[in-house]
Amino acid sequence: MAECPETRARAGLLHTPHGTIETPVFMPVGTQATVKGLTQRDLANDLNVQILLGNTYHLYLRPGHELIRQMGGLHRFMSWPNAILTDSGGFQVFSLSGLRKISESGVVFQSHLDGSRHSFTPESTVDIQLALGSDILMVLDECPEYPVRHEYARESMQRTVRWARQANSHFQNRMAESPTAHALFPIVQGSMFPDLRRECAAALVDLDAAGYAVGGLSVGEPRPLSLEAVEATADILPRAKPRYAMGVGMPAELPEYVARGIDMMDCVLPSRNARNGYLFTSEGRVIIKHARYRDDPGPLDPNCQCYTCRNYSRAYLRHLFQSGEILYAVLATRHNICRYLDIMRDIRHAIISSSFPEYLRCVRASFANAG
Ligand SMILES: [Zn+2]
């Protein structure tokens, strides 16, 4: 739709079997086939969420992809009308599972729920995601921790590329057997080494995939390094395909990723932080338990049009939080997700109206002032 002449930001349309998505887009995370605290009606009708993320690792372990297939697929199971993207489970295997063993054929891991043993292969994670019926599937990747030595990062990145080739050819075979409209995205790895990121991206471009993800971010690295890792691949990943930065970021970082050519992002921060009492507003963060909000009659964010901000005071939200009420999580999550979606709408509008560089300068200045 539009490209920023000064940065790599672009505004586009991403067509899926479950609707067209305006990009750049933020995808709320529905780990267990639910965004904690919100109904699907809240998400689709009130917040106008066009795409949700589901976690293959969690859904595979419980309730199991075969059960979800029997129930008509994830869309029907959770009654979600719009698009779904699922990750491959790689990130959770590496971050949640206590015991794991990586081999050339895949990864054997222990469930964090009951200690039972399982394995993921590049082929099996494609099959699991097809059983779920995701619109956009991710290939199995190895997500190394941070920091990691260059030598190991290279070995791991090369394995991720081999897995991506295997996953892709398995996916092509499955699509040839029963043609349905799914997309499979390979994932660029290479830790925080720009040379490895570039090498990985170049190898994955040969797969001519429908889109590309940049993974291995938010693993404990300093924030500037995550941006550098994304920047390293910006010239290599095809301009005509969507690019997805996995697991980022804070509100001030969203336009930074967009400026580096990213079209899609997901993050648990807005929902998780909401439940912990950390709220994102257009005027900065609000830690709702602070005593100063005890008798504050104003809305959480005077510039926000969400249901929470239109109807409730900071004093009431603080009271619900202090009392451990379920309604607190419901109202807080609704606002934080709305805040992220508003930021993405502003970014998209800025790109289309040729004012993105100015928008970016304002965001940088306001966060620099806020410290
Ligand atoms: Zn609000």
Q: 0.95 cut: is pTM over it?
A: yes
* Average pLDDT of the segment spanning 132-150: 96
Q: Is the pLDDT of residue 119 over 90?
A: yes
Neighbours of 364 (CB within 10 A): 13
Q: Is the pLDDT of residue 68 over 60?
A: yes
Q: How far is the CA of 318 from the centre of ligand 1 (A)?
A: 15
Q: 185-189, 241-245, 364-368: which range is least confident on average?
A: 364-368
How many Å apart are CA 189 and CA 192, to the nearest integer? Answer: 9
Q: Is the pLDDT of residue 371 over 60?
A: no
Q: How far is the CA of 60 from the centre of ligand 1 (A)?
A: 34
Cα distances (Å, whole numbers) of residue 232 to 34, 153, 225, 261, 296: 34, 16, 10, 11, 46
Q: How far is the CA of 281 from the centre of ligand 1 (A)?
A: 8
- 87 catalytic? Reply is yes
- 46 catalytic? Reply is no
Q: How far is the CA of 305 from the centre of ligand 1 (A)?
A: 6
Q: How far is the CA of 217 from the centre of ligand 1 (A)?
A: 28
Whole-number average pLDDT of the chain: 96
Q: How far is the CA of 164 from the centre of ligand 1 (A)?
A: 40
Q: How far is the CA of 88 from the centre of ligand 1 (A)?
A: 32
Q: How far is the CA of 299 from the centre of ligand 1 (A)?
A: 8
Q: How far is the CA of 327 from the centre of ligand 1 (A)?
A: 15
Q: How far is the CA of 339 from the centre of ligand 1 (A)?
A: 7
Neighbours of 94 (CB within 10 A): 20
Tokens coding 352? 């289309």
pLDDT tens by residue, 251-286: 999 999 999 999 999 999 999 999 999 999 999 999
Nearest by Cα to 204 from 176, 248, 148, 244? 244
Tokens coding 36? 């904690």
In the prediction, which pLDDT does 95 show? 83
The catalytic residue among 135, 141, 266, 301 is: 266
99: pLDDT confidence band, cut at 50, 70 and 90?
A: confident
pLDDT tens by residue, 7-50: 999 999 999 999 999 999 999 999 999 999 999 999 999 999 99
With a CB cutoff of 8 Å and minimum separation 6, the contacts of 304 are 281, 282, 335, 338, 339, 342
How many Å apart are CA 86 and CA 51, to the nearest integer? Answer: 11
Do the bridges between strand 212-214 and strand 278-281 make them parallel or antiparallel, or are there none, so unpaired? unpaired
In the prediction, which pLDDT does 370 show? 66
Q: How far is the CA of 273 from the centre of ligand 1 (A)?
A: 14
How many Å apart are CA 255 and CA 348, to the nearest integer? Answer: 10
How many Å apart are CA 282 and CA 267, to the nearest integer? Answer: 18
Tokens coding 232? 């390293």
The catalytic residue among 42, 87, 301, 342 is: 87
How many Å apart are CA 325 and CA 221, to the nearest integer? Answer: 35
CA 371 to chain CA centroid, Å, is 26
- Using an 8 Å Cβ cutoff, are 188 and 214 in contact? yes
Q: How far is the CA of 336 from the centre of ligand 1 (A)?
A: 7
